[in-house]
C-alpha cells in the first residue's frame, strides 16, 4: 500500500464538476485578471475568516511583505518572529527593510514561546510576527497581551492554519493583519500560486490593495499614487478557490479526525510523542508532526513501506546559511535545536483512509518492535 504525503488528485476527483465549471467560466468570460471572480473570492474569504476586508495577492510570501510594508515597518525596525517556520516568515521582514529577531519555540506546540518574547524587545521593536505552525494557533492571548503592553503591531502568518481558532476566535483576526497562502498543498489550495491578507482595518486594506497593484489610482488610470508591486490573485485561481472554500470546514474536520486516529493508535508506542493540542486551540492539522527516537532510520523504514513523510523543519531558521550573519548558536534556541532531529511529519490530508492510517501506524510499530 502506498501512502503519499498529500494527495491532491483525490480532492479534485471528488469536486471535479464544480472546479471544472469554475475554470471554464473564467476562460469563457476571459476574466483572467481582476473582475468578478477575484472580487467574489475576496468577499467570501473575508466572510469565512470573519474580517471586514480581504486583499488578494499573488502568494503567501507577498501577503506578509505587503502587510509589513503597509503597516509602516522598514529600515531601523525590528520584528520578532519564531525560530521554526518556512523562510517566507523571516525573509519578508528583511525584504521590508527591517531586522529579523528570532524567538525560541514552545516545547509542546512548536510555536513561538511567548515567555521568551519580552527579553527580545528593544526600543527598535515594531512588531511581533507569530506563525500558527502546522495548523495550531500560537498562544494569541499571551502574544496580544505582550504586544498591547509594549505598543507593538502583530501580523499573523496563517499560511498553515486556515480556519484554526484560539479560544474560539479565528486566527488572522487577532493582529492588525493575517496573511494566508493558497499554495496547492495548503489546507485551502489553488492550482498554482495564490495568497491573501485579511484585516478589520479598512484604511490598511486600501493601502495594501494599492501597494499590491502598482499603486494604481482607482479614479485615474494614468496616475499612480505610490510605487507598489505587481502581486495579483488571478481569476482562474480565485474561481477555483471559490469552488473549494465551501468545503474547507469539512476538510478541516476530516484532518482533525485523521490526526485523532493517528494519536489514538500511536499512544502505546513509547518512542513516539504525538502532537500536543492546547486545550484553547482548535487546530486544522496542515501538518501532523511526531517527535520520535531514531528519526532518520524510521523515516527510511517508512519510505521502504511506501509511506512518504516530511520534516517541518529540518533546520531552524536562525541556522540557515541566510542567517549566518546573526551569529546564533544552538544555545540561543535550545528547544528548536532539540526538536530538529526528532520531528517527523506523517501523511495527512482530508481524504486519507483508515486503512492508510493503520498501515502507517503498523509500520511505525514494527520499526520499534
Number of residues that bind ligand PLP (CB under 6 A): 15
- Cα 236 to Cα 224: distance, rounded to the nearest angstrom: 26
Cis peptide before 212 (omega within 30 of 0): no
Residue 27 Cβ vs ligand PLP, minimum distance, rounded to whole Å: 24
By CB under 6 A, residue 136 contacts ligand PLP: no
- 274-313: b or e for each residue (b if 16 or more CB lie within 10 Å)? bbebbeebbbbbbbbbbbbeebeebbebbeebebbbbbbb
Quick check: 325 and 275 in contact, CB under 8 A? no
Cβ 252 to ligand PLP shortest distance, Å: 16
Integer-rounded Cα radius of gyration of the chain: 21
Which 280-299 residues touch ligand PLP, going by CB under 6 A?
none
Nearer to ligand PLP, 236 or 266 (CB): 236
Which residue lies nearer to ligand PLP by CB, 95 or 261? Answer: 95
Q: Which three cell numbers stand for residue 294?
A: 531514531
**Contact string (CB under 6 A) for ligand PLP, positions 139-158, x = contact:** ------------------x-
Positions 179 through 198 that interact with ligand PLP (CB under 6 A): 181, 183, 193, 195
Tell which one of 103, 128, 131, 344 touches ligand PLP (CB under 6 A).
Answer: 131
CB atoms within 10 A of CB 217: 13
* Rounded CA separation 216/288 (Å): 42
- Per-residue contact track with ligand PLP, 79 to 108, x per CB under 6 A? ------xx-xx-------------------
Nearer to ligand PLP, 183 or 323 (CB): 183
Nearer to ligand PLP, 131 or 335 (CB): 131
Q: In whole angstroms, what is the distance from residue 345 CA to residue 285 CA?
A: 11
**What are the residues binding ligand PLP (CB under 6 A)?**
59-61, 85-86, 88-89, 131, 157, 159-160, 181, 183, 193, 195
Amino acid at each position: 500500500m502506498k501512502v503519499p504525503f498529500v494527495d491532491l488528485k483525490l480532492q479534485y476527483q471528488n469536486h471535479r464538476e464544480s472546479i471544472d465549471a469554475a475554470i471554464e467560466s473564467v476562460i469563457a468570460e476571459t476574466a483572467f485578471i481582476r473582475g468578478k471572480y477575484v472580487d467574489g473570492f475576496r468577499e467570501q474569504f473575508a466572510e469565512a475568516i470573519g474580517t471586514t476586508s480581504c486583499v488578494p495577492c499573488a502568494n503567501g510570501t507577498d501577503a506578509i511583505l505587503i502587510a509589513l510594508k503597509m503597516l509602516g515597518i522598514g529600515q531601523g525596525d525590528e520584528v520578532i518572529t519564531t525560530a521554526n517556520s518556512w523562510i517566507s516568515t523571516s525573509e519578508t521582514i528583511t525584504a521590508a527593510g527591517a531586522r529579523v529577531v528570532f524567538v525560541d519555540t514552545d516545547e509542546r506546540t512548536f510555536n513561538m514561546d511567548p515567555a521568551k518574547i519580552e527579553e527580545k524587545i528593544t526600543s527598535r521593536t515594531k512588531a511581533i510576527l507569530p506563525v500558527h505552525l502546522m495548523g495550531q494557533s500560537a498562544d494569541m492571548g499571551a502574544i496580544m497581551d505582550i504586544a498591547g503592553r509594549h505598543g507593538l503591531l502583530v501580523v499573523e502568518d496563517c499560511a498553515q492554519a486556515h480556519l484554526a481558532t484560539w479560544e474560539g476566535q479565528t486566527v488572522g483576526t487577532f493582529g492588525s493583519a493575517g496573511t494566508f497562502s493558497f499554495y496547492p498543498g495548503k489546507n485551502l489550495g489553488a492550482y498554482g500560486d495564490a495568497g491573501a491578507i485579511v484585516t478589520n482595518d479598512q484604511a490598511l486594506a486600501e493601502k495594501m490593495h494599492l501597494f499590491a497593484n502598482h499603486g494604481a489610482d482607482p479614479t485615474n488610470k494614468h496616475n499612480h499614487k505610490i510605487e507598489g508591486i505587481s502581486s495579483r490573485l488571478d481569476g482562474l485561481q480565485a474561481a477555483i478557490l471559490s469552488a473549494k472554500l465551501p468545503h474547507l470546514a469539512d476538510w478541516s474536520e476530516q484532518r482533525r479526525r485523521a490526526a485523532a486516529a493517528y494519536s489514538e493508535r500511536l499512544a502505546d508506542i513509547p518512542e513516539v510523542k504525538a502532537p500536543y493540542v492546547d486545550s484553547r486551540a482548535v487546530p486544522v492539522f496542515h501538518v501532523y508532526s511526531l517527535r520520535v527516537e531514531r528519526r532518520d532510520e524510521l523515516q527510511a523504514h517508512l519510505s521502504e513501506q511506501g509511506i512518504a513523510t516530511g520534516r517541518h523543519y529540518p533546520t531552524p531558521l536562525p541556522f540557515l546559511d541566510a542567517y549566518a550573519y546573526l551569529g546564533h548558536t544552538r544555545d540561543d534556541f535550545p528547544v528548536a535545536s532539540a526538536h530538529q532531529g526528532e520531528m517527523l511529519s506523517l501523511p495527512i490530508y482530508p481524504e486519507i483512509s483508515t486503512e492508510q492510517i493503520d498501515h502507517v501506524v503498523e509500520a511505525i510499530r514494527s520499526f520499534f518492535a
